[in-house]
Amino acid sequence: MIHFESDYLEGACPEILERLVETNMDKTEGYGEDPYCESARDKIRKACKCSDAEIHFLVGGTQTNMTVIKALLKTYEGVMDAPTGHISQHEAGAIEFTGHKVFPLPSEDGKISAAEVKKFMDDFLKDGNRDHMVRPGMVYISHPTELGTLYTKKELTDLSNVCREYGIPLFMDGARLGYGLMATDTDVTLPDIAELCDIFYIGGTKVGALFGEAVVIPKPGLIENFFPMIKQMGASLAKGRILGVQFDTLFTDDLYMKISGHAIHMADKLEQGLRDKGCRFFLETPTNQKFIIMDNKKLEELGKSVVYEYVQAYDDNNTVIRFCTSWATEEKDIDLLLDLM
C-alpha cells in the first residue's frame, strides 16, 4: 500500500531526531525556559523579520487554537471563521468548551473575506439587540486553509485592515504554514504574516516535527500572562526543550522551507500527472492537499493499493477524495500513484 491520506504519517525529519539524540543528556530547565527554546525563538524572529516577537511553543493544533482563542476573547465574545475551519469542524467542541461561540461566515473555498467580516461586524454593531448577542471579538483563519487554498497578500491585507478598523485581533492557524509559504505562486511571506496578523502559529506537527506549534505574537503585550493560561489549559510541556530543539532545527539552514518545498514539488508533480490523465479536480489548490473527483468503481479498485482520505460523496457515482503530500513523500510513491490512476 502507498499512503496519501494525510501529512502526519511519519515521525520527524531526520535532522530533528539527530539533534534530539545529540542534546538528549543535557540538563535544562523545564517549561520553555531552556537555551534550545531561546535559540529557536531567535531564529523564528529572524525568519519573521520581527525582532520583538513573543514566541511560545505548544504541542498540538487544537490545543493551540483553544488556548489562543480563550486568551484573546473576552468571556462574552465569539470568534469568526470559515464554515470549514478546523475550530468549526474537527476540534470536538474545544472552543465551546472554553465558553466561546464560533461564528461561521459565508465561504466557498475555506477562506473568509474582509467584506464578510465587515458585514458581520456592521450587522452586529447596528443591531438593537446586540447586548443580548455574542459579540464577534476576533477572526480566525487558516493558511493554507483546510481546503488547501491560500490567501493572497491583497486578501490578507484587506482582512488585516478590517480587523484593525474594528479593533479585533486576526489569528492565523498555520498548522500547514510551510506548505503555504512554499506554494509556487503565493505572494505571502512569513514577514508579511508577522506584519498582518496579530498572532499566528508555525505548524510543526504536519511539517517535519514529531509535534509542536510555534505561536508568534509579533507585538508583545497582546496577551498578558500567557504562560499561566497555557498551564491552566494543560498545554505546557514539562520538557519544553523537546519543542525548542525541534523548532531550532527547523529554523536552521532554512530546513522548514526546504522540506515544505519538497512537499510542494511532490504535490505539483502529482497534480500535473493527474491532469495529464484527465482527472477532475474538486477544487484548485496550490498547496500539498489535492482534492479530486473519482468514479466510485475506479475508486474501489484504487483503494486496494492506495490509502487516500474520503472527503464526501460528489454524486451517486462519484466521490471526492484527498491526496496529501508532505516533507516525507517519496517521488517513487507519486510515480506509483500516477501509474495506478
Is 306 a binder of its own copies (CB under 8 A)? no
Cα separation, 311 vs 294, in Å, equals 11
Is 62 a binder of its own copies (CB under 8 A)? yes
Q: What is the DSSP letter of 313?
A: E
220 φ, ψ to 5°?
A: -60, 150
H or E, element range at 264:
helix 255-276
- Residue the block writes with cell 505548524: 203
Q: Give the residue, chosen from 37, 47, 55, 102, that forms a contact with its own copies under the rule CB under 8 A.
A: 102
β-pairing verdict for 77-81 and 280-281? unpaired
Q: Applying CB under 8 A, what is the total number of residues that bind its own copies?
A: 75
x/- track of binding to its own copies for residues 134-163 (CB under 8 A):
xx----------------------------
Query: Around Cβ 151, how many Cβ atoms within 10 Å?
Result: 27
Long-range contacts (CB closer than 8 Å, 24 or more residues apart) made by 45-52: 46/251, 47/190, 47/251, 47/256, 48/190, 48/191, 48/193, 48/194, 48/216, 48/218, 49/190, 49/191, 49/194, 50/191, 50/194, 50/195, 50/216, 50/218, 52/218, 52/219, 52/220
- Residue the block writes with cell 501529512: 7
Q: In the range 187-206, which residues lie near its own copies by CB under 8 A?
A: 205-206
Q: Give the residue, chosen from 42, 96, 109, 155, that forms a contact with its own copies under the rule CB under 8 A.
A: 96
Q: Give the residue, chosen from 70, 143, 262, 322, that forms a contact with its own copies under the rule CB under 8 A.
A: 70
Q: In the range 208-237, which residues lie near its own copies by CB under 8 A?
A: 210-211, 224-225, 227-229, 231-237
Q: Give the residue, chosen from 100, 143, 290, 322, that forms a contact with its own copies under the rule CB under 8 A.
A: 100
Cα separation, 325 vs 286, in Å, equals 12
Nearer to its own copies, 195 or 336 (CB): 336
Nearer to its own copies, 280 or 310 (CB): 310
Q: Give the residue, chosen from 15, 28, 35, 222, that forms a contact with its own copies under the rule CB under 8 A.
A: 28
Query: Which neighbouring-strand residues pair with 313?
Result: 319
- Minimum distance of its own copies from residue 79's CB (angstroms): 11
Is 25 a binder of its own copies (CB under 8 A)? yes
Q: Give the residue, chosen from 115, 277, 298, 310, that forms a contact with its own copies under the rule CB under 8 A.
A: 310
- Minimum distance of its own copies from residue 260's CB (angstroms): 17
Query: Around Cβ 242, how many Cβ atoms within 10 Å?
Result: 22
As given in the structure block, the three cell numbers for residue 280 are: 477532475
- Minimum distance of its own copies from residue 154's CB (angstroms): 30
Q: In the range 239-298, which residues lie near its own copies by CB under 8 A?
A: 239, 241-242
Piece in contact with its own copies (CB under 8 A), picked from 99-107, 144-152, 266-274, 293-301: 99-107
Nearer to its own copies, 97 or 297 (CB): 97
- Minimum distance of its own copies from residue 65's CB (angstroms): 8
- Minimum distance of its own copies from residue 166's CB (angstroms): 15
Q: Give the residue, chosen from 47, 53, 80, 94, that forms a contact with its own copies under the rule CB under 8 A.
A: 94
Cα separation, 109 vs 114, in Å, equals 14
- Minimum distance of its own copies from residue 1's CB (angstroms): 9
Cα separation, 319 vs 158, in Å, equals 35
Piece in contact with its own copies (CB under 8 A), picked from 56-64, 153-161, 247-255, 290-298: 56-64
Query: Which neighbouring-strand residues pair with 171?
Result: 140, 199
As given in the structure block, the three cell numbers for residue 70 are: 480563550
Q: Give the residue, chosen from 46, 52, 97, 125, that forms a contact with its own copies under the rule CB under 8 A.
A: 97
Q: Give the residue, chosen from 45, 61, 247, 319, that forms a contact with its own copies under the rule CB under 8 A.
A: 61
